[in-house]
Amino acid sequence: MKKLTKLLSLSALLVLTACNSVLNASTEVQQPTVQIPHDDPQWQQHLAKLSQIQGYTATGQFGYISPEERFSSHFNWRYTNPIQFGLELSSNLSTKSLKLERNKRGLTVRTMRVIAVLTVMLMR
């Protein structure tokens, strides 16, 4: 039981330290150093390839940082066509998530409360 208490204490300390380091991150944003003109042949070739894409998915995490606030969210974006797509946003630190779904019947917006369950297995 002492090992479990030490392990949980260490885990909590690591999580709090990680959160603090994110909160102390710089809020400065650098401007891009390369500008590509719209009539550039390589750019036009790239646009032609992009126009051939029919559908795609993207998953990842994004963050917003300003002097007043900062937050991050995980996202799962699915695009099939202009009438059928979906976006789900969730956070590690929150129990809420947002789900947008578009289909031929319309747009559905759902907010969900996710219940996180922590299971601790005691080894004897």
Highest mean predicted confidence (pLDDT) among 11-20, 55-64, 88-97: 55-64
Q: What does the mean pLDDT of the chain come to? A: 79
Higher per-residue confidence, 26 vs 123: 26
**79 — phi, psi (to 5°)?**
-125, 120
Span 35-90, pLDDT tens digits: 888 999 999 999 999 999 989 999 999 888 888 888 888 999 999 998 999 999 98
Higher per-residue confidence, 114 vs 35: 35
DSSP code of residue 122? P
Q: Cα(31)–Cα(96) distance, rounded to whole angstroms?
A: 33
Is the entire prediction scored with pTM above 0.85? no
Please list the residues that pair with 48 across neighbouring strands.
none
The count of residues in the chain is 124
